[in-house]
Amino acid sequence: MCGRYTLTSSGQELASHFEAQPVLDLQPRFNVAPSQPVPVVRIAAAGEAGAEPGKRQIALHRWGLIPTWARDASIGSRMINARAETAADKPAFREAIRRRRCLVPMTGFFEWRGGGGRKLPSWFHPSEGEGALWVAAGLWESWWDPGGQAVHSCTILTTAANAIVAEFHDRMPVLLAATHYARWLDPELEDPRALADLLVPWPAEHTAVRAVSDRVNDARAEGPELLAAREPPAQGELFG
């Protein structure tokens, strides 16, 4: 799964990479957590501000998809991820995977393992180096709160873990190559089966991992020091 990630790219860097508008004022994030606003890339619809209809638009969405039929927004905390294999069959995701797909940029994500009562985080990132961009396959939705205000939210699709991530967790985000952005975002493509070949593990040879500070465990913690290499645990500490 993906429950916490990093995004250190600037708004200008994202706009350039995705050939999208507008340029958002983004600060580096080293501990993005569920329910927070996150930038996504999607195709702009008619009447939306920020981009020409049919063009790529960068927008902030709440992480944790809120289905249109939800009674309140709290359900989003359980919808931060969607299994790629079953999303098309789940009531919360089946319309979004057909009509509301998006891209979720990140520069890495966290997973945990441990023992003895400690959760020890590790940061997975592109093997090309820190700051390189990964782009996860996402879905988005709009929900109207009791006051009539639209809340735009998103989820990240997951697939089986590659050999690197599998040592920590059996799932990982679906990551897309730049050559696949257009297909994933194509509003004319409404059959999820035509996208199944994209929903596969990212190559292990392009995945790097580093044990990092357990301050990441606190969703309120922020700053580049969170990615500092953690000293190896003492013998017996990892598994208790």
Instruction: Provide mean pLDDT across the span 187-203.
Output: 97
pLDDT over threshold 70, residue 238: no
Q: pTM of the full predicted structure?
A: 0.93
Alpha-carbon distance of 18 to 128, in angstroms, equals 19
Burial class (CB in 10 A: 0-12, 13-18, 19+), 112: middle
Q: How many CB atoms within 10 Å of residue 71?
A: 8
- State pLDDT tens for residues 107-148: 999 999 875 667 899 999 999 988 899 999 999 999 999 889
Helix and strand counts by DSSP (H, E) for the chain: 3, 12
Question: Is residue 234 pLDDT above 60, yes or no?
Answer: no
Taking the chain, what is the end-to-end CA distance rounded to the nearest angstrom?
Answer: 24
Q: What is the pLDDT of residue 47?
A: 66
Rounded to the nearest integer, the mean pLDDT of the chain is 92
pLDDT (0 to 100) of residue 52:
80
Contact present, 31 and 65 (Cβ < 8 Å): no
Catalytic machinery residues? 2, 111
Burial level of 68, CB count in 10 A (0-12/13-18/19+)?
exposed
DSSP secondary structure letters along 190-224:
--GGGGGGGSSPPPGGGEEEEEB-GGGGSTT--SG
Tokens 């696949």 locate to: 180
Give me the mean pLDDT over the 200-211 stretch: 97
- Write the pLDDT tens digit of every residue in 78-109: 999 999 999 999 999 999 999 999 999 999 99
When pLDDT is averaged across residues 53-60 and rounded to a whole number, the result is: 93
Instruction: Using alpha carbons, select from 231, 230, 232 the residue that is nearest to residue 110.
Output: 230
> What band does 50 get if pLDDT is binned at 50, 70 and 90?
low
pLDDT value at 236 more than 70: no
Give me the pLDDT at residue 233, please.
Answer: 53
pLDDT tens column, 140-172: 999 999 889 999 999 999 999 999 999 999 999
Q: What whole-number distance in Å separates Cα of residue 235 and Cα of residue 183?
A: 48
Is pLDDT at 235 greater than 50 in this prediction?
no
Whole-number Å distance between alpha carbons of 47 and 80: 28
Backbone φ, ψ for residue 8 (5° rounding): -105, 0
Helix (H) or strand (E) holding 95, with range, is helix 94-99
Mean pLDDT of 13-37: 97
Question: Do 124 and 206 contact (CB within 8 A), yes or no?
Answer: no
Q: Characterise 164 by phi-psi region: left (phi > 0), alpha (psi -120 to 50), beta (else).
A: alpha
Tell me what the mean pLDDT of segment 205-224 comes to: 96
Average pLDDT over residues 11-16: 97
Name the band, by pLDDT with cuts 50, 70 and 90, for residue 224: very high
Q: Whose structure tokens read 């975002």? A: 185
Single out the residue of 14, 201, 208 nearest to residue 104, CA to CA: 14
Rounded Cα distance, 148 and 1, in Å: 32
